[in-house]
Amino acid sequence: MFARVAALGFHVCFWITPFVNRKNVVDMHGIQPWPSKNFGPAATAGHLVKEQRTGRPQARAPPT
């Protein structure tokens, strides 16, 4: 299948979003409401952007 797509001139790119969720939006079967498995380890290791006021991992985009 990929060879055919390439022969048509397309470049296949697989993308995994670099996001970790504190809380998931349950909008389809199989999605659970709790944090993603990598949220806790990422927060503990200091890999997440922190809110300046609280020092907690930032849950949403900062105001512009």
1 assigned to some structural domain: no
Range of the domain at 24: 19-64
What pLDDT score does 8 carry?
94
Residue 41 maps to a domain: yes
How many domains does the chain divide into? 1
**Is 7 among the domain residues?**
no
Residue 6 lies in a domain: no
What's the predicted TM-score (pTM) here?
Answer: 0.49
Query: Does any domain span residue 34?
Result: yes
Provide DSSP, 3-51.
Answer: HHHHHTT------------SS----STT--SSPPTTHHHHHHTT-S-B-
* Successive 10-residue mean pLDDT values, the chain, 64 residues: 89 74 79 82 86 80 60
Look at residue 25 and tell me if it is in a domain. yes
Q: Kindly state whether residue 12 falls inside one of the protein's structural domains.
A: no
Using CA atoms, how far apart are residues 18 and 49, in angstroms rounded to an integer? 13
Q: Is residue 9 part of a domain?
A: no
